[in-house]
Amino acid sequence: MGHNSFGSAFTITTFGESHGEGLGVIIDGVESGFKLDTQAIQAEMARRRPGGNPLGTERDEKDQLVILSGMYEGLTTGTPLAMVLYNTNQRPYDYSNLKDVFRPGHADWSFYKKFGVRDIRGGGRSSGRETSARVAAGAVAKQILAQHGIRIFAGTVQVGSVVATKRNWDECDNALTCPDKEASLAMASLIEEVRLDQDSIGGIIECRITGLPPGLGEPVFGKLQALLSHAVMSIGAIKGIQFGDGFSCATMRGSAFNDQRTSEGFLSNHSGGILGGISSGQEVILQAAVRPTASIGKSQKTVDKENVTKDLVIEGRHDPCICPRAVVVVEAMVAITLLDLWYTAYGRQR
């Protein structure tokens, strides 16, 4: 299977470049007869789109999805669901200054080394815009999972050194989807400060899955944490992932880390809801490290195709912190992974 596909029982295949004709996703394996809420999908798209977030880039893209196939009279038909996002309102950016240089922190260098050619317009296939196709697919997966009581929600829990200490998931209707209202204000201030400084800043996104029954995940290479890691780590900006106590486990003893159980239930959740790669029935908790946005206004050293050193200043409006917009992408990849495992276990036909 090509590496632009993900999943085996519920498979998404994405395509498209940032500034080409359009991008989108083909979803293969959707159950038939499901009443799809297309407005809810569009609402998810809005969470990711540029201009949809006060802390993000000022570029405004509508991200209007068009469904080409797989539905009839409001119901899924069981055939591939094709969803496309046309790059209609692309302004004629002048990319000529980027034509022969490799932007630091971007995929420019490695794409050129791998493919020999590269689409210089806005990063082409390596642009973050590629994730919009994942959000569309994730929105479908979420709806189907919801009917089984499974809910996925993520939020920003760290930006720079501002750390959210609370987990009030009902109060995260802020630009960062941060479950700690006070921390979210400090995060927003920090992001504005960084923006004015022509720089960017990293952060951490936390994602939780509730309502997941025990028994999802497939030994030994389809362990729940392995597939979720594949899914989340395939998002360009993510540099690390951890489950439950994660890297903290390095300093813990087994007697503290093991989740003991009594007839009342588990006494703790250090493992993050996964035992032996299979969901335990507890809440699944994971965190992803988000690197600072690669595009910054400061001057940087780079080289051109002839390997001559250049000083590069990247123009344009960029997200000083990608967390606000990446939250929904993490949710999407988690949802896609879970529905894949669900269909693997229970099938999609009745």
The H-assigned helical ranges of 35-174 are 38-48, 108-115, 131-146
- For position 289 contacting a second copy by CB under 8 A, the verdict is yes
Please answer whether residues 130 and 23 qualify as being in contact, where contact means their C-beta atoms are separated by less than 8 angstroms. yes
- For position 300 contacting a second copy by CB under 8 A, the verdict is yes
Q: Which of 50, 138, 279, 331 binds a second copy (CB under 8 A)?
A: 279
d(CA 111, CA 123): 10
């997941």: which residue's tokens? 212
Q: Could you tell me the smallest distance in angstroms from the CB atom of residue 194 to a second copy?
A: 7
Report CA torsion sign: 93, 82, 153, 272.
negative
- For position 218 contacting a second copy by CB under 8 A, the verdict is yes
- For position 269 contacting a second copy by CB under 8 A, the verdict is no
- Compute how many residues bind a second copy; rule: CB under 8 A: 154
Interactions with a second copy, residue window 71-110 (CB under 8 A)? 72-73, 75-82, 84, 102, 104-110
Convert 138-149 to b/e letters by CB count within 10 Å (16 or more is b): bbbbbbbbeeee
- For position 117 contacting a second copy by CB under 8 A, the verdict is yes
Alpha-carbon distances of 266 from 127, 173, 244, 287, rounded to whole Å? 43, 31, 14, 21
Q: Could you tell me the smallest distance in angstroms from the CB atom of residue 100 to a second copy?
A: 14
Give the rounded distance of the alpha carbon of 50 from its chain centre.
Answer: 15
Q: Which of 36, 52, 57, 111 binds a second copy (CB under 8 A)?
A: 111
Q: By C-beta, is 44 or 206 nearer to a second copy?
A: 206
Site string for a second copy, 5-44 (x = CB under 8 A): xxxxxxx-xxxxx--xxxxx-x-xx--xx-----------
Site string for a second copy, 152-191 (x = CB under 8 A): ------xxxx------------------------------
Q: By C-beta, is 59 or 223 nearer to a second copy?
A: 223
Q: Could you tell me the smallest distance in angstroms from the CB atom of residue 87 to a second copy?
A: 9
Q: Which of 88, 215, 313, 315 binds a second copy (CB under 8 A)?
A: 215
Residue 85's contacts (CB-CB under 8 Å, 6 or more residues apart) are 16, 22, 23, 24, 45, 63, 64, 65, 66, 132, 133, 136
Q: By C-beta, is 9 or 46 nearer to a second copy?
A: 9
Angle between helices 323-346 and 38-48 (to 10 degrees): 140
**Stretch of 43-51, 52-60, 140-148, 259-267 lying at the interface with a second copy (CB under 8 A):** 259-267
Comparing C-alpha atoms, which of 137, 105, 111, 135 is closest to residue 124? 111
Q: Could you tell me the smallest distance in angstroms from the CB atom of residue 181 to a second copy?
A: 20
